[in-house]
Amino acid sequence: MTRITLVEGDITEQQVDAVVNAANSSLLGGGGVDGAIHRRGGPQILEECRRLRASHWGRGLPTGQAVATTAGQLPARWVVHTVGPVYREEEYDERAELLASCYRESLRVAAELGARTVAFPAVSAGVYGWPLEDAARIALATVVAAGPGPVGELAEVRFVLFGAAAYRTFEQVWQGIESEGREGQD
């Protein structure tokens, strides 16, 4: 069974096998989580990202996909870079599917590497403008639905929320999902 946990904190400090980066298609860095990961992880991560751009991902990593590099000097072993969609109400369905894909693909890549513990930020919920509560619902529901496939081999999927408000939002959404699950069993 995979444990799903929520913590308030900084993803760059997590003692897990893989941390997920909310990157952009260029894979060459940015602000938010991406900036923090490259800053704390050091230049090795960017070197590997450049190699990915020079080889398989010449046109950049498409939205909804995921790819791994070293985690450099972070406590983790790997960074799994994924590209979330920019929020756009008019194209909600397609983009929500891409956001779900970020979680599924990141879990698949992490499981393939042999990771047992994975930490996620709230992908797309910062610069990319996705409303936090909805981002939380998609994130949690997708990870729950992904088991017992790739997630079955993972001991823990941890959501690392930046700030008390983000943590509370995830916690409320998670309680809702858990109580629906319990009702479903009755």
Among 5-13, 48-56, 109-117, 149-157, the segment contacting ligand AR6 (CB under 6 A): 5-13
- Give me the least distance between CB of 104 and ligand AR6, in Å please: 16
For the question of residue 34 being annotated catalytic, the response is: yes
Of 10, 17, 34, 186, the active-site residue reads 34
Site track 68-107 with ligand AR6 (rule: CB under 6 A), x = hit: ----------------x-----------------------
- Give me the least distance between CB of 13 and ligand AR6, in Å please: 8
Give the whole-angstrom CA distance, residue 136 versus residue 122.
Answer: 7
Question: What part of residues 118-157 is at the interface with ligand AR6 (CB under 6 A)?
Answer: 121-128
Give the whole-angstrom CA distance, residue 103 versus residue 123.
Answer: 9
- Give me the least distance between CB of 152 and ligand AR6, in Å please: 26
Query: What tokens appear for 174 in the block?
Result: 């998670």
- For ligand AR6, the closer of residues 89 and 183 by Cβ is 89
**Which residues have CB under 8 Å from 110's CB, separation 6+?**
17, 18, 20, 68, 78, 80, 118, 150, 154
Among 27-35, 57-65, 73-81, 141-149, the segment contacting ligand AR6 (CB under 6 A): 27-35
**Which residues have CB under 8 Å from 89's CB, separation 6+?**
none
Give the whole-angstrom CA distance, residue 137 versus residue 119.
Answer: 17
Angle (nearest 5°) at CA 168 between 163 and 171: 125
Query: What tokens appear for 32 in the block?
Result: 């938010």
Please report, as ranges, the residues that interact with ligand AR6 according to CB under 6 A: 10-12, 22-24, 30-34, 36, 84, 121-128, 160, 162, 166
Positions marked catalytic: 34
